[in-house]
């Protein structure tokens, strides 16, 4: 599921940065103790934060479909996966200044050797 979230966020970063003279995309992770945070940042067209509440809705788009391909379900899917696993997802942006998406997921408790069935 983490792979699906990253795939969607990276595809969006590529799509919304493609027209730049130089595309810049960074992907990072950070150990937060009981959770892990992953961030995908780009230098794309960005979006107006006044409409950020629409980002994770199904079929919600902040850009014209004529300008950028897509179905409008990628970020909604990311949010659903993150929510289902007890995490959070946020977005920050500046119009014409790129976007940053960060999602956190709680760490799973390490299994003890004795926890596995023997056989």
Q: Which of these ranges, 15-19, 41-45, 100-104, 114-118, has the smallest mean pLDDT?
A: 114-118
DSSP character string of 2-71: HHHHHHHHHHHHHHHHTTSSS--EEEEEEE-SSEEEEEEEE-S----GGGGGGTTSTT--SS-TTTS---
pLDDT tens-place string over residues 5-40: 999 999 889 888 888 899 999 999 999 999 999 999
pLDDT tens-place string over residues 35-65: 999 999 999 988 888 878 878 875 455 554 5
The candidate with the shortest Cα–Cα distance to 43, out of 92, 91, 102, 99, is 99
Give me the domains of the chain, ranges plus CATH numbers.
2-107 (3.30.565.10)
- Structure-model confidence comparison of residues 61 and 73, the more confident one: 73
Predicted TM-score (pTM) above 0.85: no
Residues paired with residue 25 on neighbouring β-strands, in sequence order: 42
């Amino acid at each position: 599921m983490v792979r699906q979230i990253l795939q969607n966020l990276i595809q969006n970063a590529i799509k919304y940065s493609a027209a730049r003279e130089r595309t810049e995309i960074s992907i990072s992770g950070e150990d937060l103790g009981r959770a892990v945070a992953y961030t995908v940042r780009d230098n794309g067209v960005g979006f107006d934060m006044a409409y950020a509440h629409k980002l994770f809705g199904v079929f919600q788009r902040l850009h014209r479909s004529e300008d950028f391909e897509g179905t409008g379900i990628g970020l909604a899917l990311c949010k659903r996966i993150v929510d289902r696993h007890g995490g959070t997802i946020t977005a920050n942006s500046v119009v014409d200044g790129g976007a940053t998406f960060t999602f956190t997921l709680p760490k799973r408790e390490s299994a003890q050797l004795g926890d596995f069935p023997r056989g």
